[in-house]
Amino acid sequence: MDARLNFFTAPMAGKAIKHLMAVGKILKDSPLPAATQELVSLRVSQINGCAVCIDMHTKEAAAAGETSVRLNLVAAWREATVFTEAERAALELAEEGTRVGDAAGGVGDEVWAHAAKHYDEEQLTALVLLISFMNMANRLNVITRQPAGDYEPGQFH
């Protein structure tokens, strides 16, 4: 499968991607735990059907020491016992923040309060930015049919 656009060779896309990569670095360096970042990125990407992001975040998480059991259970995190309460709160916020079109009220107060119980304001800010960032990245990749499978951990860092 060939991508509809190459974001690294198109002049306008290249300018934008440079800024997006900078935002990605800011998020990576945030106080939100790295494991939580990868789990959230993976879950948002699963919901949106973004194969290239699923490929990337699965491999990045594994390279950082995440277990295959946890990675395989992200899609069914509610029934899995391998996630901490804080990770579960982040995954729930990620799901509601990704599926805003499915819920008239957007992210519910209970979901927000549960996340706020586990993360401080700086971490919550990073979590909200990450969820939003991943939704944007997923849409860019899905719309342009970016192929998956060839990602190497650290490729964009």
Q: Please count the other Cβ atoms lying within 10 Å of the Cβ belonging to residue 54.
A: 24
pTM, two decimal places: 0.93
5, 14 Cβ separation under 8 angstroms: no
Residue 2 has pLDDT above 90, yes or no: no
Question: Rounded mean pLDDT of 7-31?
Answer: 90
CA dihedral 73→74→78→82, nearest 10 degrees, is 60
As a whole number, the mean pLDDT across the chain is 94
* pLDDT band with cut points at 50, 70 and 90 for residue 43: very high
Instruction: Kindly give, in sequence order, each residue whose CB lies less than 8 Å from that of residue 131, ignoring residues fewer than 6 positions away.
Output: 40, 44, 93, 94, 97, 98
Q: Please count the other Cβ atoms lying within 10 Å of the Cβ belonging to residue 108.
A: 13
Q: Which two tokens stand for residue 40?
A: 């959230």
* Alpha carbon 71 to its chain's center: 13
Nearest Cα residue to 33 out of 83, 79, 80, 77: 83
Residue-wise pLDDT for 75-98, tens only, equals 999 999 999 999 999 999 999 999
Between CA 56 and CA 21 the distance in angstroms is 14
| Domains of the chain: residue spans and CATH | 35-143 (1.20.1290.10)
